[in-house]
Amino acid sequence: MTGKTRWRRGGARSRIFPALLLPLLFLPVQASAQQESAKANGGASVISPTILKNLSVTADHSKFKELQGPFTSGPQVTRACLKCHNKAGRQLRDNIHWTWETIDKRTGRKLGKMHVINAFCTNALGNEGMCAMCHAGFNRAGPDYDLNKLENIDCLACHDNTGKYFKTVVTPGHPKVRKKFAPKKPVPWTQSAQHVGLPTRANCGKCHFYGGGGDNVKHGDLSSVLFNPPRTVDVHMSPREKGGAGLVCIDCHVGEGHKWAGGHYKLNIGDDGKRPPGMPRRTLSCAQCHGDRPHSNTTLTGWRLNGHTARVACETCHIPAFARGGVATKVFWDWSTAGKLKNGKPFAEEGYTQGNGKKRHTYASLKGSFKWAENVVPEYAWANGDMDWLLPEDAFDPATPVFINKPLGGPDDPKSRIMPFKVMKTIQPYDKKRNVLVHMLLWGDNDYALWGNFDFARAIRKGMEIAGREYSGEFGFVHTRMFWPINHMVAPKEQALRCNDCHVRDTGRLQKLAGFYMPGRDRWPRLDLLGAAAALLTLLGIFGHALLRMSRAKSRN
């Protein structure tokens, strides 16, 4: 077993005795593994604490004198909110939704939208006039934004309950694209201010379901179908009348003082104690509700499935595919083809029709070429919670794909589990001499913005200047990869993976993962011999028992 590690639990080497049971694990009972129940305090009978709280609201904001308005801007509304909620501003001051910044505790390096260049629209820094449509604040027009000016916090982005509130671009953009993004109607400031409550899925989804520039572009497991999903798409967010649990985002992404669990800069692999939905927590994991022994121990199948939880994330088996429900996700983006014009004007081609019938762009002058996919089987990797992030000044070898981020961990790390990911593949610009990713100015009312002049050279030069970075003056395009954890779109238990989705030779889902022994997939001569011997002895025992019974029957006759 050179170069391989056997399954470990709690850091201790597995005993050889369970291997004697190996032949039993492939009996028909194993084929019904997906029928084992992962019960969460009653499963679908769990009622959303958020819904309960909204049903028991004791204040009607429309009657408050401070909210009578009329309001004509966001900061006016926020100043009124903070008169009563006088701690909220300071609480949100350090929230990543406001700062776009977080510190990697492992390395001490700054991460977040202000520091990372991603594999989608690349950089937010310098493009705040557009990107801040999904910022929990107002008037974020550039890098010199004053984070201590708390009246710019956007309370309505998360707390509007009318469903009519919307965000607009902060700056107008280039005349060639300005009309496309201009608001079609005025923001209902007063109406929204008078009808607020706890965040709903509609509040969260307006930004998170449309990250990367469109419906389900970025995450793969967060799309508009989750506003009202059927049970077959997500058992947690599906309404109770459809057989789901009816949970909303903050039932899991919950915390205290405007700081809540979740995020992709630091993955939530472990568990800090079992809590039902809605209870405060520092980390976010399936075990918070389901425990680390979610399957019944009264059957051999349930016992074996519970043995997986230390090394296999729940999502690996219970999210067999993402981008389900009729909304595709973007899986490839080629920036190098951007800038083509027809009759001197930008254009788009809709070459993909997704499951719900909507067409998606396969080319757009503003962004380049795209590929889409639905019902995507995830890629799997070992993850211990930490991610290795590429920052703008980190040099790389352009001859091979460049990983913008990558989960850390492995089979020899007892904190690691096998997790599912979407891996985004992109071709994006870089500095050819310095071998670093570049900042681009995409949005702006000037002749440098790519979304207007379609000139990469000018857009990159200006973007690097805004970012305060050295630029060689020569750019090219490099292949990049970016990992996105898959945590949503949990399928019903009957759709969970079967044992033979992984424990088979050559065609299993975990074929690419090396460095450990997995029954059914790998061959270990000694264990194979032991299993064959056990099976042979079993057959001999059965045969011998049958002969004895036949012999005794003849003797009696």
Q: Residue 144 pLDDT > 70, yes or no?
A: yes
Residue 263: the pLDDT is: 85
Tell me the mean pLDDT in the region 302-316. Answer: 92
Please tell me the least confidently modeled range out of 255-269, 362-376, 434-448. 255-269
pLDDT tens digits, residue range 386-414?
A: 999 999 999 999 999 999 999 999 999 99
Residue 57: is its pLDDT beyond 80? Answer: no
With b for 16 or more beta-carbon neighbours within 10 A and e for fewer, the 476-509 pattern comes to ebbebbbbbbbbbbbbbbebbbebebbbeeeebb
Among the candidates 256, 284, 302, a domain finishes at: 256
Q: What is the DSSP string of 295-329?
A: S-TTSHHHHHHHTTTTTB-HHHHH---BS-SS--E
Mean pLDDT is lowest, of 38-47, 141-150, 241-250, 391-400, for 38-47
pLDDT in tens, 471-482: 999 999 999 999
Closest CA to 469 of 492, 439, 499: 439
Are residues 220 and 362 part of one domain? no
- Residue 166 domain-assigned? yes
CA distance 115 to 117: 7
Identify the pLDDT of residue 40.
Answer: 34
Supply the pLDDT for residue 261. Answer: 82
Q: Are residues 223 and 77 in the same domain?
A: yes
Q: How confident is the model at residue 9 (pLDDT cuts 50, 70, 90)?
A: very low
Do 342 and 239 fall within a single domain? no
Q: Is residue 372 domain-shared with residue 241, that is, in the same domain?
A: no
The answer to the question of residue 304 being in a domain is: no
pLDDT, mean of residues 451-459: 96
In a domain, 262, yes or no: no
Domain boundary among 230, 256, 282: 256
Average pLDDT over the chain, rounded to whole? 88
Mean pLDDT along residues 375-390:
96
Q: Which residues pair with 334 in a beta bridge?
A: 369, 427
- Answer yes or no: is 545 within a domain: no
* 342 and 248 fall within a common domain: no
Q: What pLDDT is recorded for position 2? A: 42
pLDDT (tens digit per residue) in 477-533 = 999 999 999 999 999 999 999 999 999 999 999 999 999 999 889 887 887 788 889
- Of 291, 303, 308, 319, the C-alpha closest to 380 is 319
Residue 208 resides in a domain: yes
Give how many domains the chain has, as a whole number. 2
End-of-domain residue from the set 210, 234, 256? 256
In-domain check, residue 85: yes
> Taking residues 24-35, what's their average pLDDT?
36
Same domain (yes/no): 360, 447: yes
> Whole-structure pTM over 0.75, yes or no?
yes
Closest C-alpha among 266, 263, 218, 283 to residue 387: 266
Query: What is the model's pLDDT at position 126?
Result: 96
Which residues are within 8 A (CB) of 185 and not within 5 positions of it... i.e. 6 or more apart? Answer: none
pLDDT of amino acid 501: 96
Q: Is there a domain that residue 300 lies in?
A: no
Higher pLDDT, 424 or 42: 424
What sign for the dihedral angle of Cα 287, 379, 97, 138?
A: negative
Please report which confidence band the pLDDT of residue 38 belongs to, taking 50, 70 and 90 as the band edges: very low
Query: Is residue 280 included in any domain, yes or no?
Result: no
Residue 20's pLDDT band (boundaries 50, 70, 90)?
A: very low
Please indicate, yes or no, whether residues 345 and 493 belong to a single structural domain of this protein: yes
- Give pLDDT, residue 51: 59
pLDDT at 509: 96
Written in H, E and C, the secondary structure of 360-390 is: ECCEECCCEEEEEECCECCEEEEECCCEEEC
Of 65-79, 113-127, 279-293, 313-327, the poorest mean pLDDT is in 279-293
Q: For residue 316, is pLDDT > 80?
A: yes
**Domain around 355:** 329-501
**pLDDT category, 234, cuts 50, 70, 90?**
very high
Residue 37 pLDDT exceeds 80: no
